[in-house]
Amino acid sequence: MSSFLLLRSRLLTTATPAKAIVPPLTRGFRHSAISMGLSSKLKPAARVSGQRQDVWSFINEAAAASPKQPIVNMGQGFFGYNPPAFLLDAAKEALDRVDCNQYCHTKGRPRLKKAIADAYSPFWGREINPETEVTVTTGANEGMLSAFMAFIEDGDEVIVFEPFFDQYISNIEMPGGKVVYVPMHPPATGATKTSSAADWTIDFDELEKAITPKTKMIVLNTPHNPVGKVYSREELQKIGDLCVKHEIIILSDEVYDRLFYVPFTRIGSLSPEIANLTLTVGSAGKNFYATGWRVGWLIGPEHLIKYVSAAHTRICFVTPSPLQEACAVGFEKAEAAGFWDETIKEMKGKIDRLNAVWDELGMPYSEPEGGYFVLVNMAKVKLPEDYPFPPHVINRPRDFKLAWFLIQEVGVAAIPPTEFYTAENAHLAENYIRFAVCKEDSVLEEAKNRLRGLKKYIQE
């Protein structure tokens, strides 16, 4: 269990969380309610109060402390450019329409549900029913929270592969679920040789051993953040077969489904038995470069989708209506505008553009098969022995030190991926750093110029 999770589970059993372990940037509620002398009755719930400094605050703090201003931010996966004009125009038009500015059906605007069903039916090889098999959510994240809220009760187990998208964990734990971790194994030669993201593999014996009678769900992410792996058809078939055998719901997070550089298979399309158990998650934010719009959806069989919709209704009622309308237009126009092909070409171009600098520096990386993250192995970077890391960095895994060092010395922010691991398995990723390439080309070029400054720290 990661110290993050350890800390959290410890706090779940402690009436008042220990003050000393709260880093300054994340004191938040506890600071105001407890340390300012207010009644302990006002203490925040453990689910939000026990978190140690999250990786995003860590990066912000490191950036603020760096002499290399402004920092080139390749950390968080938001786009450095706007959605396509056909989407922006549609949003502006939607804002002028009375019906678009009001509540819509909690399951989503009919036009968006239809546009999603039309766009995805060809991948499933059958007609998806927009009324019963699609539900619109407030981003993929809230969609997944709704799925967990819909099916997970106290003590139910959910299998999650490591590294994981960090929101899964709290979303599973909120309804009382227990996360069971199964690691993805990095390529054995990752520290010395560039390899394909396909070489991060699952040990299927480990996966089967993780299944118990309490296993209710498994979370899959393909294309994968942060690894960039696109699960092969064979891997998905094996996972699907196990889920059918043990009757486990598959929550397939496919938010990067339009960004694949090798053939991409959707687990829900493999067989009717697997489809019966599969909820597929999508994100207009990722598809259309609009992460701030908070429009996502789930596709799945009626017997699963109706409960996800019920949970979504309780959590946030509806998703912003004008932006749903704009996303509907986006789906209607994207194919004819050549947008899906263009998005792949552009993103792959950005990946290659950045990776040229690693080739130049002789630094191995994991060649992404999908998505927009690159994992670079920095085992060769020799951190100076006497480097003045602040106290809250010194005790974190090596990738946190690398991230801090990169920000201070070359002025480039990137993410330490052990944040997405438990403590037992953090060693698997402690030499890696994750770079988001969904930025303007000029930003990538500036990042490359700066990253060349690492040369003097590289030891073969």
Binding site for ligand PLP (CB under 6 A): 77, 139-141, 165, 221, 225, 253, 255, 283, 285, 291, 296
Q: Is 140 exposed, middle or buried (0-12, 13-18, 19+ CB in 10 A)?
A: buried
Burial class (CB in 10 A: 0-12, 13-18, 19+), 202: middle
State in angstroms the smallest separation of the CB of 139 from ligand PLP: 3
Measured from the CB of residue 283, what is the shortest distance to ligand PLP in angstroms?
A: 3
Structure tokens at 72: 């080139």
Between 299 and 363, CB nearer to ligand PLP: 299
Sign of CA dihedral 43, 48, 51, 56: negative
Which residues, 6 or more positions from 271, have their beta carbon under 8 angstroms from its beta carbon? Answer: 240, 244
Work out how close the CB of 287 gets to ligand PLP at its nearest, in angstroms, rounded to a whole number.
9
Closest approach, Cβ 22 to ligand PLP, in A, equals: 25
Q: CB nearer to ligand PLP: give 56 or 389.
A: 56
- Which residue's structure tokens are 């994240």? 141
CB 217 within 8 A of CB 152: yes
Which structure tokens are listed for 260?
């694949």
Q: Between 221 and 269, whose beta carbon lies closer to ligand PLP? A: 221
Nearer to ligand PLP, 22 or 436 (CB): 436
- To ligand PLP, the closest distance from the beta carbon of 163 in angstroms equals 10
Q: Whole-angstrom Cα distance, residue 255 to residue 287?
A: 7
> Helices (DSSP H) in 335-397: which residue ranges?
339-361, 391-394
Residue length of the chain:
460
Which amino acid is residue 142, in one-letter code?
A: E
Smallest distance, ligand PLP to C-beta of residue 384, A? 33
Residue nearest to ligand PLP (CB): 139
396 within 8 A of 230, measured Cβ to Cβ: no
Q: How far is residue 249's CA from residue 245's CA, in Å, rounded to a whole number?
A: 11
Judged by beta carbon, residue 168 or residue 405, the one nearer ligand PLP is: 168
Angle between helices 139-151 and 302-315 (to 10 degrees): 110
The phi-psi region of residue 173 (left if phi > 0; otherwise alpha if psi is between -120 and 50; otherwise beta) is alpha
Find the shortest distance in angstroms from Cβ 327 to ligand PLP: 11
Smallest separation, CB 298 to ligand PLP (Å) = 11
Provide DSSP, 199-212: GSEE-HHHHHHH--
- The greatest distance separating any two alpha carbons of the chain, rounded to the nearest whole angstrom, comes to 64
Whole-angstrom distance, CA of residue 252 vs CA of residue 301? 13
Q: Which is nearer to ligand PLP, 295 or 410 (CB)?
A: 295
CB of 205 to ligand PLP, least distance (A): 26
Query: In this structure, what token pair is assigned to residue 109?
Result: 């605007």
Q: Between 55 and 410, whose beta carbon lies closer to ligand PLP?
A: 55
Question: Toward ligand PLP, which CB reaches closer, 280 or 283?
Answer: 283
Q: Which is nearer to ligand PLP, 49 or 51 (CB)?
A: 51
- 77 vs 417 by CB, closer to ligand PLP: 77
Q: How far is the CB of 222 from ligand PLP (least distance, A)?
A: 9
